[in-house]
Amino acid sequence: MMRDALLAAGVALSFASQISVPGLPFGYGELFLIIWIMLSLGRILAGGSIVATPAFAKLAKFWLLLSLTLAVGTFVGYFTSVLYLTGLSHDAMAYVLLASVTCLAALEPDAELRLRRSAWWVIAIATGAFLVQLGVAWGWIHQSDVEPWYWDRLRGWSENPNQLALYCAVFGPLALHLATTTQSRWAQLFAFSSLVPIFYVGRLTKSDTYLYTTVLSGLVFLGLWLRAWFASSSGKATLSREIALLLVVGAVPLAIAAAPYVVTEESSVAEFAKSLTKDGGDEATAETFDLRVFLWGQAIETGLQSWSLGLGPGPHLERPPVADKQFLERPFEAHSTILDLYLQGGLVAVLALVWIVGSAAMSAWRSRFDALSVLLASVVVFSLPHLIIRHPIVWFALTFCLVAGMHPAVGQRPGYAEVS
């Protein structure tokens, strides 16, 4: 139980980059993960049992292949470009930490149960942390050395609002999964209640990506839930199902009929959509878009110049001219998981990442838990305009999905029912 809580604390508090352990160059999240790794290794060295699960085999293959590609990329970068040792060492240590956590978690003889316990701890710790950060942001709680606002965007304990938004985007589907797969009414109430502060904090970050991710995740879950609901009828026709089926069938002609009115109110709809984005869709959103486009183009060009072998861990892009108002320092990252990994480990590293994410997606589907598919969809969508491969919450989600698919018979699609 203590190790489960330690793993959860490390994962849940990894976003708190403004809060560091006194006398140490890293935060409390990293500290808890290091302690968890030491305890897990101690258990194994003391004769504790381990199980080479299919999830462990896939994770070990991925990290081995990624290590080889990064080593080749570093060799290429050493002879063809200037390597920034700070970024290189930072990313290398992050990968070692993540590889250790994921592989050790998948080696547990009861990995599925332990990860589920940790997931409950993650949501509990995250909910408490978010409430404290909201108190700090609104001035109800004083916390020195913490700047909770980045202009008008909430960043809480994080270095920037996008980092906090990523964790909100993962915490939400994870809480939804726990809520829909437990028989305990109190546990359901807690999990569903935790969605309120998670969503509220996510919106206060004013992250456009969080908005798109939440909308897409909601639609995906609704579609999967309707599919499971219809499939659970077992041929029995009920009034509620007939009404729902009528609404689904009539959605297309209803949309066509409403199209003229939507076109007439096009400006109002556009203004409403803009109002949901950062800075109302004005200068800040345009600057972010220009910066992303420039960096992505430069990343592709730089990656091709390395013969698609990569340049090793760390950022490798020059300061873009469109970043004058961003107050960012060089070197730059591409702010896209695929492109940043392409710069670091080349095409093979990208293919390895696609393979492990695809394996997690297949595992989530085999587990027959729809919320896990939503969880993975949130990770994928958020990875497109952001570099998220170094965040522990991302690898906790991937490992959770990989382990959940090891015993698909326990899944409950349709009709969820699992003891928490």
Range from 12-26, 274-288, 376-390 carrying the lowest mean pLDDT: 274-288
The average confidence (pLDDT) of the chain is: 84
Instruction: Give the residue-averaged pLDDT of 280-301.
Output: 75
Q: Which range has the worst mean pLDDT, 37-41, 195-199, 274-278?
A: 274-278
Average pLDDT score over residue span 345-362: 96
The string of pLDDT tens digits covering residues 144-170 is 889 999 989 999 999 999 999 999 999
Q: Is the CB of residue 40 less than 8 Å from the CB of residue 104?
A: yes
pLDDT of the residue at 232: 62
Instruction: For the chain, give every domain's residue range.
Output: 2-233+287-410
At 278 the pLDDT is 56
Query: Where is average pLDDT lowest: 20-29, 232-241, 297-306, 351-360?
Result: 232-241
pLDDT at 368: 81
For residue 420, what pLDDT band results from cuts at 50, 70 and 90? very low
How far apart (Å, rounded) are the C-alpha atoms in residues 217 and 375?
8
Helix (H, G, I), strand (E, B) or coil at 338: helix
314/100 Cα distance (integer angstroms) = 20
The C-alpha atoms of residue 50 and residue 74 are separated, in whole angstroms, by 34
Share of the chain above pLDDT 70, in %: 80
Task: Dig out the tokens for 86 from the structure.
Answer: 């700070």
**Is 284's pLDDT higher than 70?**
no
User: Residue 102: pLDDT above 70?
Assistant: yes
194, HSE (Cβ side, Cα atoms, 13 Å): 29
C-alpha to C-alpha distance for 10 and 59, rounded to whole angstroms:
19
Q: What is the pLDDT of residue 55?
A: 94
Q: pLDDT band at 282, cuts 50/70/90?
A: low
What pLDDT, in 10s, does the model give residues 108-146?
Answer: 988 999 999 999 999 999 999 999 999 999 999 998 889
Question: How far apart are alpha carbons 413 and 410 in whole angstroms?
Answer: 10
Percent of the chain with pLDDT over 90: 58
The pLDDT of residue 257: 52
Pairwise CA distance, residues 47 & 139, whole Å: 51
What does the pLDDT look like over 203-257, one tens digit per residue?
Answer: 999 998 999 899 888 888 887 777 766 666 554 545 444 444 444 444 455 445 5
pLDDT at residue 326 is higher than 70: no
Q: How confident is the model at residue 276 (pLDDT cuts 50, 70, 90)?
A: very low
Beta strands 153-154; 149-150: pairing state: antiparallel
Average pLDDT on 164-179 reads: 95
Q: Is 151 left (phi over 0), alpha (psi -120 to 50) or beta?
A: left
pLDDT for residue 416: 41
Measure the CA–CA gap between 260 and 264, rounded to whole angstroms: 6
Distance in angstroms (rounded) separating the CA atoms of residues 340 and 310: 9
- Is it the case that residue 418 has pLDDT exceeding 90? no
